[in-house]
Amino acid sequence: EAEVAQSPRYKITEKSQAVAFWCDPISGHATLYWYRQILGQGPELLVQFQDESVVDDSQLPKDRFSAERLKGVDSTLKIQPAELGDSAMYLCASSLDRSSTEAFFGQGTRLT
């Protein structure tokens, strides 16, 4: 069964260091999402891609976060420099398109 792949599963870093997360969506899925989930809360959207284009990054802290999906397939989310408040689960999801189709999530990267 096709899955959304994320790596690493866990990342421990120090304040002011750079971290990067990778996501490989289900093959053929045009829409890719990055969410952040703080413990005890629901996931919140950071950035949404349609193919290689960003369609929504209004909640992405652009002073320290960046995301790319250069060839419209896999994606990388980067934080530089990391801050204590960035500790969370970072979830990647994909769907066939932006509207009525089901979203599938990866196992996430736990950042400490």
Partner 1 sequence: KQEVTQIPAALSVPEGENLVLNCSFTDSAIYNLQWFRQDPGKGLTSLLLIQSSQREQTSGRLNASLDKSSGRSTLYIAASQPGDSATYLCAVASGYALNFGKGTSLLVTP
CB 89 within 8 A of CB 44: no
Q: Which stretch binds partner 1 (CB under 8 A): 12-20, 38-46, 64-72, 75-83?
A: 38-46
**By C-alpha distance, which of 30, 9, 23, 1 is closest to 103?**
30
Q: Which residues 60-89 are close enough to bind partner 1 by CB under 8 A? A: 89
How far apart CA 106 and CA 99 sit, in angstroms, is 19
Q: Which of 2, 18, 41, 83 binds partner 1 (CB under 8 A)?
A: 41
Tokens of 101: 């189709």
Tokens of 104: 């599938």
Q: Which of 16, 27, 53, 99 binds partner 1 (CB under 8 A)?
A: 99
Binding site for partner 1 (CB under 8 A): 4, 6, 33, 35, 40-45, 48, 55-56, 89, 91, 93, 98-100, 102-108, 110
